[in-house]
Structure 1
Amino acid sequence: MDRPARRRGLILVITGAVLWGISGTVAKKLFQHYAIEVDWLVTTRLLIAGILLLTVQFFTKDRSQITSVWKNRRAAFKLVIFALFGTLAVQYTYMASIQHGNAAVATLLQYLAPVMIIIYLVLRKQTVFTVQDLVTVSLALVGCFLLLTNGSISQLSVPTPAIVWGVLSGVTLAFYTVYAVPLLKQYDSLVIVGWAMIIGGAALSFIHPPWQANFADMPLEACLYLVFVIVFGTMLAFWFYIESLQSLSPKESSLVGSLEPLAAVLTTVLWLKEPFGYFQWIGTSCIIGMILLLALKKAPTNQKTNATVS
């Protein structure tokens, strides 16, 4: 791989990870100061980002896949399941955790998904529990304890609803990652994730239609934040991550992708001025260390498989 292509891949994955992390903090700003509802934001975010991803597929890759996925009944059924219980579920639980808590805690709890996958594979006897797995799980548990309690056993430093939604976000991300593997062996990532976003957004539209918003009274600042979350924090972030896999190994992309929780923590503390205790910083370091350890693990899986872990 030539040096310019590798440099381009690094720039793409760094940009994508930072955009993901910042978008969670921007979403918290929308919830706090502009009374934007979670249901509406998730619906709008999924629909617009999904349409944009399929548009990218249409103009840059094999456009026939956009319709061919629906001609295979088995693949179409799996796509709908993936959309509802994977894409929609992980987006909603993540945003709900941000609304009740903050982007830093929500992002870090979501990154428990790799540990859940390890436990799932061990229980299914598809892998053995190694020393590295033990270290990984230990870092995750210690990190979560310190993050949520700030070292105090008597009380939680994070609201309970934020913890529940955050853990559910990790569970749904684990499902999202594992369930998508067969689909991504047949079709491009942009096709699967694009359609999944559209299906998830359409399903949630029955509960909270995206057109039910008073844009006339919405200040310009709020509109700009919305554009950032939908276009930069969802569509472009995912696209950049996918494109980085053209010039970087999945392990390298996953490693650099660990900048996401770091970006979420820093923007939450520095921009939103959310309090973050000494022990919470130690807990954050443990979870980021867990992510780095997983990213450095040998024998990464197929590129398309790794492309969903974001």
Structure 2
Amino acid sequence: MNKYKGYFMVVVAASLWGVSGTAAQYVFDHSNVSMEWLVTVRMLISGLLFITLCYLGKERKNVWSVWQSKRSLLQIVFFGLAGMLAVQYTYFASIEQGNAAVATLLQYLAPVFIMIYFLAVLKKPPSRFELISFVLALLGTFLLLTNGASENLTVPAASIIWGIISGVALAFYTLYSGKLIQTYSSIIVVGWGMLIGGAAMSFIKAPWDFTPSGWTSSTIVLILFVILFGTLVPFFLFIDSMRYITAKESSLLACTEPLSAVLTSVVWLGVPFGFYQAVGGAAILIMVILLTLKPKETNEKTSENVNY
């Protein structure tokens, strides 16, 4: 029963991540809320909540440990800017320019970039397994972005560029966070990363720089949903599930995220999603599953999937 409890926790967490992307798209499309402001507020509030919960819980004595040496200070600041902020900003920029379904699937190309990184580091030719995964990623991306017609793009080019950069940023985030999580708890790392990224974004779009005129109750509810149920709640569910299931199992079940993003985008927002796009999305998910099930060789040093 504990294993099924863990499965349930991961599926709920991943689904909330996916739905939060669709909720953000609705906010961008139906209000004057800017992408930059939502990223700033989401990161600041989520970071404060993470650190506060750490301070009130078992991690209280370790909350400030990341600031006790120059090396750890530089590492957490670099992670907050080049990892956490980069992932947040590029993902929401892709949603704003296109839609949550395509943005989420493009971000799920991260395992390919991780695979390429390790192949470059180890300087060895790719295995048949890796070549199949790479072909699936290319085919899936082509079908997702063109719906089978090479002369047409299903989303603007800006959304594609931001989505691919988001996949690269998530790959870096995953690799770099592994070093920090070996020393500090994942909650502390993500909490400080969120706060640092949010503080940096405040220089671009201050949290108090907004105009609530025209906001409806739906706007406010969805903003709170993106902050709380798109970050805080799913993160704790995902991390807590590790008590019951393995990291490999949680990574496989996390594929629920793009599925929930696609489903809610189509059903709730009426986003068109063609047959070949569905085939392309399925190819990307199969690629993720293959790389997750692959015996740990080139990707054995990557951290467990710590989402955002």
The two structures have a TM-score, normalised by structure 1, of 0.94
Write the mapping of 1:46-61 to structure 2, written as runs, cut at 5 A. Answer: 46-61=43-58
Where does residue 248 of structure 1 map in the other structure? 245
| Aligned residue runs from structure 1 range 20-35, under 5 A | 20-35=17-32
Residue 60 of structure 1 and its aligned partner are, at CA, apart by 3.1
Structure 1 CA distance for aligned equivalents of residues 185 and 82 of structure 2: 20
Deviations 1:173-212 (A, max 9, x none): 1111111221110000000010000000000101111112
In the TM superposition, what is the alpha-carbon distance from 1:215 to its structure 2 partner? 3.4
Q: RMSD value over aligned CA atoms?
A: 1.6
- Which of 100, 105, 119 pairs up with 1:103? 100
Q: Which amino acid aligns with 1:164?
A: I
SS state of the match for residue 122, structure 2? coil
- For residue 175 of structure 1, what is the aligned residue in structure 2? 172
Per-residue deviation at 1:126?
6.7
1:275-294 to 2 correspondence within 5 Å? 275-294=272-291
Alignment gaps of 5+ in structure 2? none
1:221, CA displacement in angstroms?
0.9
The aligned counterpart of 1:308 is 306
TM-score normalised according to structure 2 size: 0.95
CA distance in 2: counterparts of 1:52 and 1:7, whole angstroms: 28
Query: Aligned partners of 1:26 and 1:20: how far apart in 2?
Result: 10
AA aligned to 1:60 is G
Residue in 2 aligned with 1:120?
Answer: 117
* Residues 235 and 307 in structure 2, CA contact (< 8 A), matched pair in contact too: no
Runs of 4+ off more than 6 Å = none
Taking the aligned partners of 1:12 and 1:120, their CA distance within structure 2 comes to: 31
1:128 deviation in Å? Answer: 5.7
1:193 and 2:190 matched = yes
Is this contact kept in 2: 1:14–1:257, CA < 8 A? yes
* Counterparts of 1:8 and 1:51, CA distance in 2: 28
Q: Does 2:144 correspond to 1:130?
A: no
Alignment partners' CA distance in 1, 2:21 and 2:189: 23
Give the partner amino acid of 1:45: R
**Closer, same or farther: CA 155–206 of 1 in aligned 2, 3 Å:** same
Other structure's SS at 2:56 match: helix
Q: How does 1:141-152 map to 2 (within 5 A)?
A: 141-152=138-149
> Unpaired runs of 5+ in structure 1?
none
Q: In the superposition, relative to structure 1, how do residues 245 and 301 fare at CA in structure 2: closer, same or farther (>3 Å)?
A: farther
Identity %: 45
Partners of 2:154 and 2:216 lie apart in 1 by: 33
CA displacement 1:25-82 (0-9 Å, x = unmatched):
0000000001210100000000111111122222333211111110021111011011
Give the alignment partner of residue 59 of structure 2, picking from 59, 62, 66.
62
User: What amino acid is the match of 2:175?
Assistant: V
